[in-house]
Amino acid sequence: MSWHEYQMSKEIDRLGPSFYAIIMAAMRNADTANLIALRSAWPYVWEELQARYDAPGGYLEGERRLK
């Protein structure tokens, strides 16, 4: 890791995303080895990320769409 990554982590924290939003973002940006580790630790997050990726607008069946 680097000083730059540390600074970026402070900015991400300042924005205030939820823990699972951070995990999903990490999954989106992970290389193969890190994605395997993330999927292993949070399989249900990976399943939801994939389901939302494949769903129109990211909405799962039965969810109300925001205007």
2-22 pLDDT, tens digit each: 999 999 999 999 999 999 999
pLDDT at 67: 65
Q: Tell me how far apart the alpha carbons of residues 67 and 46 are, in angstroms, rounded to a whole number.
A: 26
Contact 17, 25 (CB under 8 A): yes
Q: Tell me how far apart the alpha carbons of residues 62 and 35 are, in angstroms, rounded to a whole number.
A: 29
Mean pLDDT of the chain: 95
Is the pLDDT at 35 greater than 80? The verdict is: yes
List the domain boundaries for the chain.
Answer: 15-57
Is the pLDDT at 66 greater than 90? The verdict is: no
Rounded mean pLDDT, 37-63: 96
Contact 24, 49 (CB under 8 A): yes
Rounded mean pLDDT, 34-59: 97
